[in-house]
Amino acid sequence: MISWWQSLTFARRSGAILLALIVLAALFGPAMATDPVSQNLDRVLRSPSLEQPLGTDHLGRSMLARLVHALQLSFSLALLSVLSAAAIGISLGLLAAWRGGVIEAVLTSIADAVMTLPVLLVVLLFSAFAQGEFWSLYVGLSFALWVEYFRVSRATIKATLVSAPVESARMLGFGNLYLLRRHLLPELAPVVGTLMLFGISTAILALAALGFVGVGLRPPTPELGVMMIELFPYYEEAPWLIASPVVTLGLIMLALALLGGRKEMP
Amino acid sequence: MSAPELKVQDLAVKDGKGNWLVQPCNFTLKPGVALSIIGGSGSGKSLLVHAIMGSLAPGLRASGEIRLGNAASRAEDAAGRRPWWGHTLAMLPQEPWLALNPSMRAGKQVAESYRYVSHARMDMAQARAKARSDLDQLGVAAADGKYPFMLSGGIAQRVAFAATRAGGAQVVIVDEPTKGLDADARDNLLTVLQSVLQNGGSVLTITHDMHVAQVLGGDIMVMRDSNVLEQGPAQQVLENPQHEYTRALLAADPEHWPPATPGQGTGKTILQARGLGKRYGAHTLFSGVDLEIHAGERIAISGPSGAGKTTLGNMLLGLVPPDQGSITIAPGLNPLKLQKLYQDPVSAFAPRLTLKQAFDDIIRLHKLSPATLPRLLARLKLDEALLRRLPSQVSGGELQRLALARILLLSPALIFADEPTSRLDPISQQETMDLLLEMAAANETAVLLVTHDRMLAGRTMHRQIAIQHA
């Protein structure tokens, strides 16, 4: 574990620390913070103070509480959709690479078709079924994201299946399950890991974008994009308010990019 | 124009912990005279030339001085030697396939060196013309419009060599240029290197092929375990070696092995093949191959490169279906009894799995007794501690013996050995071959060997089958 940490570059270490802090805030923040939706119209648009470290918004709600709740929401939805997308993508990739023929042709054409649509558009299409619902966003995100896992795992598995190590393992009498466990999945893991980090950032960004244009989750749900559009009218009077969701979103993107970023040259 | 003299003084390489990887050494590379560094794998030969180039991996530190003509550079100052690259000093790395850009046609890669590296400042059209004439001179004119993956090893080597030379460098370093090449490709490459020498260039070659050192002549330097053991004129070192290790290295050449007794196998028939043929598209690899393999027999498959030697072996193992003919395995023989040793032992193991895990998995799968393994490893002179490592962390010779141990666990009736020693130095080659033959003899295992080394085949196998292009 320690040697693994030492093998990371400075950039990846900083990314990991930053992400860990953000995730900790998302995990434990909501339990410690106050109610994110309770209003107090006597004290709106307050500047940061000891009691309210990030100030209060136009309805007197605690910005800190809203922010940590928004973080939790974004992360859980993003993680859920990325995990589902990866599970579906890898399974279908495995199926296509292993069986080949018509199955592969059909799956590849579907994947290519989905690939032509921008992620945001796919999520928008799905969210049109049930606007502002958590599940429609989840299904939309998963559907937009599975394609890359499918393509990557299909290509990797196809190459690994014809490689000499697999050939020799087969000759030694090992079955398909063993090949999957010892040869195919270990090859896939590092690639899929990086893809998942990028997938999470895509999902969080898409979610915020939809919230911002008003087709994602609905107010009063604390969500980064929703918060941005709500606080947008007050940016001249209380710039620190809109700054907090924007900076938070920026930090999440930075942490994920640093962590998943370019590997060291061998 | 003759090459500047390359003079190396007290050049040494240490790793980050201060261990010597190359002990301080001195030598001079004179124009028109070849210098060959010979020695086993892991002796520091490649590190030495990387230290000269200034292309050591991060974490390794070089010390000493390198002089090229009138210019001098401290070995630590790797960046200071960058301006020499291509113009005066050039290196052809191991595995030319990997040195070429896979997405660019061969001729264009050579032209790029003329256009951007050479001091002649020519435009692309001129550079293309120069590149074409170079490739023509090297006898690979047909490679001009092809991508690297379409080229055979020997041809890719010559293309990479043309690209290396196009910058105008007169001092050329070549790292194991003949690894994995058949005799014809090797002789071709030697002719090319000799012509560089005749034109006043100088060539520093790393090799473990004694034949290469002998043909190039000049001086020889022998290395082992980071030390230079011996250096001197080629003839003197080869004919009257002073150091024991040099003698062992020379004696390990298949030329000096005792010849095998030729003969036909008489044991139980393992496998029978009739009229085998294979073609790829319109191109026929071979046809009408008849073969019968008996227990305990040793057979070499010989033929020019690209004739389908490996394909034939794979076909007998059932890995490739034949286009014509039939293969009959002796009734009652489990297909698991037919096993294969790979040319590159690294490719026989799962790359991210420790060797221990790989062996445990086999023992569990076939319900073998766990006590067999230590005994087998001891017979193959392998340390059990090696098992804790990943395949990439074990030397080629040891890994090839581990691969042998793995298939011996299944007590095979036939081992198809696909150039099992072409990537090993002579001493590991002899060790590996001896052990393979010893274990095969003890278990009445038949051995089918593919090799481009006619001497090796003659010295170890009972009979040869030749395949030719139909």
* B350 to chain A, closest Cα gap in Å: 5
Interface contact flag, B348 A172, Cβ < 8 Å? no
Give me the tens of pLDDT residue by residue for chain B, a chain 470 residues long: 577 888 999 998 888 787 888 899 999 988 888 999 988 777 888 888 889 988 887 778 889 999 988 888 888 888 888 888 888 889 988 777 778 888 999 999 999 888 888 877 788 889 999 899 888 888 888 888 888 888 877 788 888 888 988 888 889 999 888 776 777 778 888 888 898 888 888 999 998 888 888 899 889 999 888 888 888 898 888 888 888 888 888 888 888 888 877 766 677 888 888 888 888 777 788 888 888 888 888 999 887 766 788 888 889 988 888 888 888 888 888 888 899 998 888 888 888 888 999 999 999 998 888 888 898 888 888 888 888 888 887 777 888 889 999 988 888 999 999 888 877 888 888 888 888 888 888 888 899 998 888 888 888 888 888 876 55
Q: What is the pLDDT of residues A8-52, one digit of tens each?
A: 778 888 888 998 998 888 888 877 777 777 777 777 777 777 777
Task: Give the pLDDT band of residue A266 (cuts 50, 70, 90).
Answer: very low
| CA A129 – CA B113 distance, rounded (Å) | 59
Minimum distance, in Å, between the CA of residue A264 and any CA atom of chain B: 11
Report the residue of chain A nearest B408, measured CA to CA.
A172
Residues in chain B whose Cβ is within 8 Å of chain A: 317, 319, 336, 338-340, 342, 344, 347-353, 357, 361-362, 365-366, 406-407, 410
Report CB contact under 8 Å: B350, A169.
Answer: yes
Q: Is A113 exposed, middle or buried (0-12, 13-18, 19+ CB in 10 A)?
A: exposed
Q: Which helix (H) or strand (E) holds B21?
A: strand B20-29
Distance CA B160, CA B140 (A): 11
* Sign of the dihedral defined by the CA atoms of residues B191, B196, B197, B199, in that order: positive
Distance separating alpha carbons of residues B262 and A119, to the nearest angstrom: 69
Among A151-155, A212-216, B385-389, top mean pLDDT goes to: A151-155
Indicate yes or no: CB of B336 within 8 angstroms of CB of A174.
no
Number of neighbouring beta carbons within 10 Å of residue B133: 12
Q: Which residue has the tokens 């309210």?
A: A52
Whole-angstrom Cα Rg for chain B: 24
Residues 6+ apart with CB under 8 A from A223: A70, A73, A74, A207, A208, A211, A216, A217
In sequence order, the 6+-apart residues with CB closer than 8 A to the CB of A34 are A62, A65
Please state the pTM of the whole predicted model. 0.76
Question: Chain A contacts of B336, Cβ < 8 Å?
Answer: 171-173
| Interface mutation vs chain A, best among B319, B334, B352, most A CBs within 10 Å | B352
> Cβ contact (<8 Å) for A164 and B353?
no
Residues of A at the B interface (Cβ-Cβ below 8 Å)?
Answer: 163-165, 167-169, 171-174, 178, 182-183, 186-187
Distance in angstroms (rounded) separating the CA atoms of residues B84 and A209 = 53
**Are B350 and A178 within 8 A, CB to CB?**
no
In chain A, whose CA is at the least distance from the CA of B350? A165
User: What's residue A265's pLDDT?
Assistant: 39
How far, rounded to the nearest angstrom, does the alpha carbon of residue B143 sit from its chain's CA centroid? Answer: 22
SS3 B64: strand
